[in-house]
């Protein structure tokens, strides 16, 4: 497998890859070039779903005049190219400007091997960093079937709002959370990812960047967590490709043995 790759596998499950990388600030071309071999490693290891961090091509920039792009712009094009090249699913978030919109949105784009895309616009904007002044909030959830898995998609700050995850629990096998989560609050990130898995009895893949950008340090700490809250793969503070198998049957079995979800009120 080579350095910088961590994996755990199970027979008959879907392999998921979490790529935590150092994002070159506001440099799409540089980030695309850097990610190509990392995605190739993930696909070569058997990953069917590859997850990139929030704003994977630009960093978490509020300079929308420089980073915003059309919904079919270069970052979405890159995801589609990589999905087609490897016959896999690839997702990451993009500062996308829908036609006629006053502001761009922080849009998670999921590109499929058949050349189609689905998207989720970040609902909870990070007002602490004034994201709400530069981006428009989404209002619709997204759950997509990927290789037989029911996958619900979220972006960074959404992780702090348990009710959004609860609302989708009964129809979700895997939550995907993309982030640029600062190192200063790394324990919040790690704790909340495991909590979302435990309370919803589902897998969680949380993918964070590493390095420095926009005046902040990022520690990675990407995680792949199973429905009982056990960590299947964990990233450190450097660039890494994490791999683990996700099995919808395991979600069903955990929920059968421990039927907690029906006891939830509201």
Average pLDDT of the chain, as a whole number? 95
In the block, tokens 């600062």 appear at 182
Q: Nearest CA to 230 among 261, 192, 194?
A: 194
Question: Is 122 part of the annotated catalytic residue set?
Answer: yes
Question: Is 156 part of the annotated catalytic residue set?
Answer: yes
DSSP 186-229: HHHHHHHHHHHHHHHTSEEEEEE-EEEETTEEEE---EEE-TTS
Give the active site residue among 15, 69, 122, 131: 122
In the block, tokens 């998670």 appear at 108
Q: b/e for 51-87, b at 16 or more Cβ within 10 A?
A: bbbbbbbbbbbbeeeebbbebebebbebbbbbbeebe
What CATH number is given for 5-258 in this structure?
A: 3.60.110.10
Residue 3 — pLDDT band, cuts 50, 70, 90? Answer: very low
Q: Nearest CA to 49 among 175, 119, 147?
A: 147
Question: Is 15 part of the annotated catalytic residue set?
Answer: no
Interval 115-135: pLDDT, tens: 999 999 999 999 999 999 999
Interval 63-83: pLDDT, tens: 999 999 999 999 999 999 999
Domain spans of the chain?
A: 5-258
Integer Cα distance of 263 and 255 in angstroms? 12
Query: Are the C-beta atoms of 219 and 190 separated by less than 8 Å?
Result: no
pLDDT above 90 for 9: no
Give the active site residue among 15, 156, 239, 240: 156
With 0-12 / 13-18 / 19 or more C-beta atoms within 10 angstroms meaning exposed / middle / buried, residue 198 is: middle
pLDDT above 60 for 176: yes
């Amino acid at each position: 497998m080579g350095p910088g790759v961590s994996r755990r596998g199970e027979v008959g499950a879907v392999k998921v890859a979490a790529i935590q990388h150092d994002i070159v600030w506001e440099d799409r071309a540089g980030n695309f070039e850097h990610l190509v071999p990392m995605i190739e490693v993930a696909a070569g290891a058997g990953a069917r779903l590859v997850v990139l961090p929030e704003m994977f091509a630009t960093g978490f920039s509020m300079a929308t005049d420089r980073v915003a792009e059309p919904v079919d712009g270069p970052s979405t094009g890159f995801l589609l190219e990589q999905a087609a090249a490897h016959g896999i699913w690839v997702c990451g978030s993009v500062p996308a400007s829908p036609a006629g919109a006053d502001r761009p949105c922080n849009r998670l784009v999921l590109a499929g091997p058949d050349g189609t895309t689905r998207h989720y616009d970040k609902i909870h904007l990070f007002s602490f960093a004034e994201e709400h002044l530069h981006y428009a909030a989404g209002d619709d959830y997204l759950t997509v079937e990927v290789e037989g898995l029911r996958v619900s998609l979220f972006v960074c700050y959404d992780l702090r709002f348990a009710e959004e995850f609860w609302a989708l629990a009964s129809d979700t096998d895997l939550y995907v959370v993309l982030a640029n989560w600062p190192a200063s609050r790394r324990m919040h990130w790690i704790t909340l990812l495991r909590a979302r898995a435990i309370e919803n009895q589902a897998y969680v893949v949380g993918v964070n960047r590493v390095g420095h950008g926009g005046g902040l340090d990022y520690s990675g700490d990407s995680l792949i967590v199973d429905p009982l809250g056990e960590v299947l793969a964990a990233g450190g503070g450097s660039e890494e490709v994490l791999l683990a198998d996700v099995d919808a049957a395991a979600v069903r079995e955990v929920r059968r043995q421990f039927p907690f979800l029906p006891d939830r009120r509201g």
